[in-house]
Amino acid sequence: MDFTSIRLITFDCYGTLIDWESGMLRAMRPLFAGVADETLLKLYSEIEPELQSGDYLPYRRVLAEAVREIGNRLSSPVSEIEAEAYAESLKQWQPFPDTVAALQSLATHCKLAIISNIDDDLFAATREHLKVDFEFVVTAQQVRSYKPSLNHFHEAIHRAGKAGITQDQMLHAAESRHHDIAPANVLDLKNVWVNRRFGRQGSGATRPASAAPMLEVHSLAELAAALEA
């Protein structure tokens, strides 16, 4: 891929910048003692898109309902208080080890933005962990829907345009082929798959998908190195 025209990189956040699988497992293990991590992640990958495909719910509610449904399927009930505490734990989920340095490097070459299935207040807490400035942040709360809906992407393209950046000067980077690469392809938006699970079996907490990215990297550091080169 030719990076010379790129002026803005939009990022999915959770799973791409934030190590959401480690964060959710840390919060779920006390609720489901003895259940394998991959089982919990697979259940989440099935349940979350089902909740997001109906009437809009805040992501905090999606998290809470998802963990309660995992409890139902495992015959291990989760209380409302426990579910709310699980959702609140997202504020403490940490970036991947390479995220902050890579973002800071990328920010010297182009503008950065976020396109995320998240609530505004939850991302505000996450933003403190990322330690860079973003040109804009598009959330599910703002567009009242969840990726892979195109609403996030239309809004991001609109905001980029207001900053004088055209769609062909944008690159979208994401871990989920279902939520991000597929809709980016529909819009012919340049994209890169940050395959955080490279070398591991299964798709973890993300719904499997076959959408083909324009470029695949295995870390944000690899993307930063490619852009610098």
**Is position 98 annotated as part of the catalytic site?**
no
HSE-CB of 183 using CA atoms within 13 angstroms: 20
**CA–CA distance, 217 with 7 (Å, rounded to integer):** 19
HSE-CB of 103 using CA atoms within 13 angstroms: 25
Of the residues 2, 12, 168, 188, only one is catalytic, namely 12
CB crowding 121-149: b at 16 or more within 10 Å, else e: ebbeebeeebeeebbbbbbbbbbebbbbb
**CA–CA distance, 132 with 100 (Å, rounded to integer):** 8
**Neighbouring-strand partners of residue 139:** 116
Structure tokens at 178: 């279902």
Maximum Cα interatomic distance, the chain, rounded to a whole number of Å: 53
Closest C-alpha to 52, from 123, 147, 180: 147
Q: What are phi and psi of 116, to 5 degrees?
A: -140, 145
Amino acid at 72: N
Q: Is the dihedral of CA 213, 146, 90, 27 positive or negative?
A: negative
**CA–CA distance, 144 with 159 (Å, rounded to integer):** 17
Q: Which residues are annotated as catalytic?
A: 12
